[in-house]
Amino acid sequence: MRGRHVKRLFRMNPQFDRDTLAQRGFTVARGLIEPAACRKLAALWPRQELFRKHIVMQRHGYGQGEYQYFTYPLPDPVERLREALYPGLAEIANRWSEVLGGARRYPPTLKEWLKQCHAGGQKRPTPLLLRYREGDYNCLHRDLYGDLVFPLQVAVLLSAPGRDFTGGEFMLVEQRPRMQSRGEVVPLEQGDAVIFAVNERPNKGTRGWHRTAMRHGVSSLRSGERFTLGIIFHDAA
């Protein structure tokens, strides 16, 4: 899976609905990664030399299942996908920061952003591979690893619903000020990517813009095995 094959593995110019992302805090890029490439990425799971850390969720109260953080240098497809996704999302991130009155501005390239992360002491890579088996689930959470946070992240479903597993739906919960929380199940097929808010998104109300907190998780797997590739753009302290 070296660089010359990358263009065949995923769309170099990912297409997604920016309006939906702005209005609901998430959107889906359909068929971002080809099925054959999904299987190859999931097959990286046992290659321990590619990972810096292995987490068993139930030991930490995160749910039930496992995930592994890739180490640097990232596998070529993961690195290229992270680089390809970042610029378009950085434009949206800057818009979000502007309407919420934030001072943070995100640079146009991932290299520049990671340079800021590393200068701030956040040097450990955060892209990860997750595996769920029957009965596994992921509690609602936010992926925050330090003071520097890129406000959007991506999860790509590498397994095929109905064939490789059942259950295991991707879930988002929006915590609305002075209102009940609202949940959303996001249907995904193999190779689809959900792009969503890491922590907060702007929401326009009758009195102007305000922050809406969001969390994400995965419902219980009823059968089979489910792999996901997570692309987080800020590194960890």
Residue-level pLDDT at 4 = 39
User: Has residue 84 been placed in a domain?
Assistant: yes
Q: Determine contact, residues 121/146, Cβ cutoff 8 Å.
A: yes
Q: What is the mean pLDDT of residues 196-204?
A: 89
Question: Which residue has tokens 């929006």?
Answer: 174
Global pTM exceeds 0.75: yes
Residue 3 — very low, low, confident or very high, per pLDDT cuts 50/70/90?
Answer: very low
User: Has residue 91 been placed in a domain?
Assistant: yes
Minimal CA–CA distance to 218: which of 111, 138, 126?
138
**Cβ contacts of residue 6 below 8 Å, gap of 6+?**
76, 77, 80
pLDDT of 59-72, one tens digit each? Answer: 999 999 999 999 99
The structural domain count of the chain equals: 1
CATH classification of the domain holding 167: 2.60.120.620
Residue 182 — very low, low, confident or very high, per pLDDT cuts 50/70/90?
Answer: confident
Minimal CA–CA distance to 149: which of 224, 204, 227, 214?
214
Asked if the peptide bond before residue 151 counts as cis, ω within 30 degrees of 0, the response is: no
pLDDT of 131-155, one tens digit each? Answer: 999 999 999 999 999 999 999 999 9
Q: What is the mean pLDDT of residues 97-120?
A: 95
The Cα–Cα gap between 129 and 69 comes to: 7
Q: 3-class SS at 36?
A: helix
User: Has residue 237 been placed in a domain?
Assistant: no
Q: Determine contact, residues 67/61, Cβ cutoff 8 Å.
A: no
Q: Determine contact, residues 74/1, Cβ cutoff 8 Å.
A: no
Residue-level pLDDT at 5 = 43
The Cα–Cα gap between 39 and 129 comes to: 12
User: Has residue 176 been placed in a domain?
Assistant: yes
User: Has residue 236 been placed in a domain?
Assistant: no
Q: What is the residue range of 91's domain?
A: 3-231
Q: The dihedral of CA 63, 143, 90, 68: what is its sign?
A: negative
Structure tokens at 86: 């970042």
User: Has residue 188 been placed in a domain?
Assistant: yes
The Cα–Cα gap between 234 and 137 comes to: 24
User: Has residue 172 been placed in a domain?
Assistant: yes
